[in-house]
A = this chain, B = another copy of it.
């Protein structure tokens, strides 16, 4: 067994990740992280959970839903502690996605610049509108953002 004394209480995890205790409980409930229990019934988290939660926070700031993130995290091994190459596999997909986003924003910026230059008044018909047109509505609730889904590193371009 792993050294028990190195396991963390939920408050410690909250402090190290900057998340609220309630948020961490919620993330466990929806299966984004897991914990063991002490005899008292208190949750005990493995230290690698901090890394996992940090990843979640970054992804969220990029606009991914928790479902998207869970999908990504599912490539990490369940039984053993994720190692360097596990995390690197995740990160590569991440970089691909970032590149797409950057390219998308740059395109939008150019279009917008063009629009300012030409002063066109029919935004609805101009290129700018069409540039942002692809990622339309995806059901109810808060809308998704730039780009619909995260790029999975394993998936080829088809």
Contacts and interface: CB of A to CB of B under 8 A. Distances in A.
Interface of A: 16-18, 20, 50-51, 53-55, 57-58, 60-63, 83-84, 87-88, 91-92, 94-95, 98-99, 101-102, 105-106, 108-109, 112-113, 115-116, 119, 121-124, 128-129, 132-133, 135-137, 142-143, 145-146
A110 to B, nearest CB: 10
A34 to B, nearest CB: 18
A51 B145 contact: no
Given A87-B123, A116-B88, A61 B142 contact: no
B109 A63 contact: no
A83 to B, nearest CB: 8
Given A54-B129, A58-B129, A60-B143, 16 more contacts: A18-B133, A51-B121, A55-B123, A58-B128, A61-B135, A63-B63, A63-B145, A63-B146, A91-B112, A92-B116, A95-B112, A95-B116, A102-B102, A102-B105, A102-B106, A142-B142
